[in-house]
Structure 1
Amino acid sequence: MLAKDQAKLRGLRAIKAALLLAKTEKGSSEEITEEGELKILQKLIKQRKESSDIYKQQGREDLAQVEDEEIDVIGGFLPKQLDRAEVEQIIARIVKDAGAASMKDMGKVVGLANKELAGKADGKLIAEVVKAQLA
């Protein structure tokens, strides 16, 4: 607040609000786990990406810029995101270990991959890579 950094302030307020909301939804006696916090942060980023895309489609670059700034702030609290090549290697190992051979096994592989890559890769990317490797 003192630095007058509005983007960081908006991002931190969004994080605080989401965490408080999650804590009160489940009951005040239950603590939020680190895994739960990661899911909340990923959800916030996903919402802002969708909003930014919509704003860009409508030609509202000013509003899209606000969303992109908040994505940067919130993303700073997530673990380093893996690139596509690293995700492909991990999923190839998971497919091999699970013995998956066809698209029928996609749900099983995506579930295992989501557990292992939680917070490190986007769910869309995971599903896309699994689909490409099983096809």
Structure 2
Amino acid sequence: MALKDRIMADLKEAMKNKEQERLRVLRSLKANLLEREISERKDGEASLSDEQTIEVLMKAAKQRKESIEQFSEGGREDLVASEKAELEIINSYLPEMLSEEEVREVARDKIAQLGAENMADMGKVMGAMMQELKGKAEGSLVSKVVKEELS
């Protein structure tokens, strides 16, 4: 079953079970997916691949993490709890992310493979890393690791 189809099936299930918070998050994801589908259309209809669906989910997760950070700084613990609950629901649809150590191993391999020696080569390494780790690791973590390895 495609990831998008699973989200839609879970949306229906949440409606039946009257799970209000889960329903709100899944409706939001459905809207994001529909928006992405429309932007991908050329002629007629377009359907998203699992990879594209994961990109949409990662963007939604990133937005929730940023909101959690901002609400924490503002002392709004009620909103932090709400955003964390939403993030947990979104993460249930995302594949398992790589740990920092696993990203570091890939970074070392890429740096050796590309012959990168200093920070001037960061763009080249980041491009190759993000292409390989798309949907498996967050860009901010990859960037941090590559900076540390090239320093």
| From 81, 86, 91, the counterpart of 1:70 | 86
Looking at structure 2, the residues matched to 70 and 25 of structure 1 have their Cα atoms a distance apart, in angstroms, of 25
Of residues 63, 78, 97, the one that matches 2:113 is 97
* AA aligned opposite 1:119: G
How many residues are treated as equivalent by the alignment?
Answer: 135
Separation in 1 of the partners of 2:108 and 2:20?
42
User: 125, 128, 138: which one pairs with 1:112?
Assistant: 128
Question: Under a length normalisation based on structure 1, what TM-score does the superposition of the two structures give?
Answer: 0.93
Structure 1 residue ranges (4+ consecutive) displaced by more than 3 angstroms after TM superposition: none
3-state secondary structure, aligned to 1:2: helix
1:42 has 2:58 as partner: yes
SS at match of 2:53: helix
2:26 alignment partner, one of 2, 9, 12: 12
d(CA) in 2 for partners of 1:24 and 1:37? Answer: 13
Task: Answer yes or no: is the 8 Å Cα contact 1:7–1:73 preserved in 2.
Answer: no
Deviation at 1:61, TM superposition (A): 0.8
After the TM superposition, which of the residue ranges 7-16 and 71-80 deviates more from structure 2?
Answer: 7-16
Match for residue 35 of structure 2 among 10, 21, 34? 21
Question: Aligned equivalents of 2:60 and 2:46: distance in 1?
Answer: 21
Q: Compute the displacement of 1:107 (Å).
A: 0.5
The Cα shift of 1:56 comes to 1.1
Q: Give the alignment's Cα RMSD to 1 decimal.
A: 1.3
Identify the structure with bigger relative contact order (alpha carbons < 8 Å, sequence gap 6+).
Answer: 1
Query: What TM-score, normalized by structure 2, do the two folds share?
Result: 0.84
Unaligned runs of 5+ in 1: none
Q: 1:94 touches 1:112 (CA, 8 Å); kept in 2? A: yes
